[in-house]
Each structure stands twice: as structure tokens, then as C-alpha cells.
Amino acid sequence: MTEQLTTDQILDGLEAEAVELETTPEQQAETEKAQSQAVQQAQESEAAAGMFTGAMEALLKLLYPYVEVDAGTRSGATAVLIPIFEKYGVSLGGKWAAEINAVTFFGMAGFGIYQQIKVHKAEEAANDGKEPKHVAA
């Protein structure tokens, strides 16, 4: 049994063919390139937002070890940041990727070491002449 096309379906098909005929290969290539760049920017923004959210969570844990950030809050924060990062073209790639990674690493490592020193000094002050505690590294 063959399916008969309605008038609307035929007109829709003709319109689609007309649009295809009006698009040059150069225009098609430009459109595909723009779409590819938009997808890439969205992926980079999502990755940057996820990294930012993770860094903020790590900072909170260093400052307040008892704080727990649940998955819903984490994903909600990332979802809120993605459109902002897309708007301003924020990404982790490009010519500054190595510098961003280095600053992030040394900033977090330095802050973690500072917190350890602070805890050690507090323990020393609490001991007031008692035998100091030495923690193996």
C-alpha cells in the first residue's frame, strides 16, 4: 500500500528543496563552521564552569573541612555559570591554558600548605611547653 502525500507535505518538501537550492556551498560551509564553533565554545564553557565550581568546592573544604557540597548544589552552580561563561567566551583552552592551570595548581597548593602551618602553630600554642606533636609528611 502506497502512502499518499497531503498538499501540505508536498509544499513543505518543495520549500525545503528551494532553501537548499538557494544555499551556496560556501554558505553551507560557513554555516557548518559557525555551528561547530558554537558547539566547541559551549563544551569549553561547560568544562570551565565545572572546573571553577570544583575549585570553589576545594577552597571551601580547605577553609572549612566539615563542609560538604552535595551533587545537586555542585551541578546547579555549574549550570548557572555555563551561560555566563558562554556570554564572555570563557574557556580553559587557548594561549593562556598553561598559565591558568599553573596559577590554579600553585594557588590551591599554597593555600593548603598555609592551612597546615596554621594548624601546626595552633597545636604548638595549645601545648604550651608540652612535647610538640610531629606529623610525618
pLDDT-based confidence at 135, cuts 50/70/90?
low
| pLDDT band at 60; cut points 50, 70, 90 | confident
Nearby residues of 31 by Cβ (< 8 Å), 6 or more positions away: 23
Mean pLDDT of 108-125: 87
- Segment 26-32 shows an average pLDDT of 83
Q: What is the pTM of this model?
A: 0.55
Predicted confidence at residue 72, as pLDDT, reads 93
Reference 103, options 60, 55, 54; nearest CA is 55
Average pLDDT over residues 31-56: 84
d(CA 16, CA 19): 5
